[in-house]
Structure 1
């Protein structure tokens, strides 16, 4: 089954007026959790994404919450350990739960959706103190139009060109269409 077919079939692609965690507004929201709630799709997407990487990592790392399921499935596909970052009380991403990465360990960071890359870069920053080799970034959907973040190549299953707007220049706001914030970041 095609990736877009899965996303559409599970209503993972929403249309309307959305407030993104980046602060931008958009007419499209990608809610991969709708597809990932089905174990057969989660496994299929994880395997497909794991096959995008030529080099086997020592760890797959994802940000909580959005990257947990797909990160785990990619790690399973690569037969490598899975770790995740969480926000501390100050809202800063960090490895917790006694997770640790050895210096020079090879790491792939996996997200569900990349829009601006903000949370992915927060994971990169959280891992800096361990001095790993970040060999790739992967996501189900890349809507950023970027091919890399911090010179780390992005592998995605699909690219979706969804419109984003600065809040001051949002045509949806000007039409008084109510905005919703469906994401996990507050």
Structure 2
């Protein structure tokens, strides 16, 4: 799957939006990416996961015995990556603010894990999820994500394989280009906005 094919999947599902958006960070952007929408269609999610799995080096794919993803955003793509790789997929969640395995999910000591996310921006949640896997006895050998929004700057401490990199400019409220300032801002996403 080529980059334009991937972006077509995002546009077809209305996951890649254009307008004026107030992001959860407080910054503004002319673009907004809502990965949950691209994963609504199981066939599309399967195609994207297969393309992402194909980006992993063959020797790495052979090491992986489990996929772990952070809840909520990574659950669907993590499950589909498990299917694409032929391994189990589980997730970590934050019932008390810190990622942990729950629901009877376990890792064997030294078990080789692929961390899977929908979007990586700063890498903070990925690093926290990797720590949870390590505390549970697993070894994260790499991370894969549908989208890298870090402009290639993220350091997760493990090899990182994004399906696509999307780097849209963002602006502080006092830096808005005139064309963007002329359009009312919309607060998208799943996080509560101030």
TM range (shorter): 0.7 to 0.9
Counterpart for residue 114 of structure 1: 120
2:77 corresponds, among 56, 66, 70, to: 70
- CA change 1:62–1:180 in 2 (3 A) is farther
Alignment of 1:1-186 (within 5 A): 2-21=5-24, 24-54=27-57, 55-56=60-61, 57-88=64-95, 90-146=96-152, 149-165=155-171, 167=172, 170-171=175-176, 175=181, 178-186=184-192
Q: Which structure has the larger Rg over C-alpha atoms? A: 2
CA contact 1:22–1:116 (8 Å) conserved in 2: no
Name which of structure 1's ranges 19-28 and 117-126 shifts more when overlaid on structure 2: 19-28
Q: In the aligned structure 2, how far is the partner of 1:121 from the partner of 1:181?
A: 27
Matched pairs, number: 184
Q: Shift in Å at residue 21 of structure 1?
A: 4.5
Q: Where does structure 2 lack aligned partners over 5 or more consecutive residues?
A: none
Name which of structure 1's ranges 20-29 and 124-133 shifts more when overlaid on structure 2: 20-29
CA contact 2:23–2:187 (8 Å) conserved in 1: yes
CA contact 2:123–2:154 (8 Å) conserved in 1: no
Q: In the aligned structure 1, how far is the partner of 2:21 from the partner of 2:38?
A: 19
SS at match of 2:72: coil
RMSD: 2.4
CA contact 2:144–2:162 (8 Å) conserved in 1: yes
Q: In the aligned structure 2, how far is the partner of 1:5 from the partner of 1:121?
A: 30
Name which of structure 1's ranges 143-152 and 20-29 shifts more when overlaid on structure 2: 20-29
CA contact 2:65–2:113 (8 Å) conserved in 1: yes
SS at match of 1:33: helix
CA contact 1:65–1:184 (8 Å) conserved in 2: no
TM-score using structure 1 length: 0.85
CA contact 2:101–2:136 (8 Å) conserved in 1: no
Q: Where does structure 1 lack aligned partners over 5 or more consecutive residues?
A: none
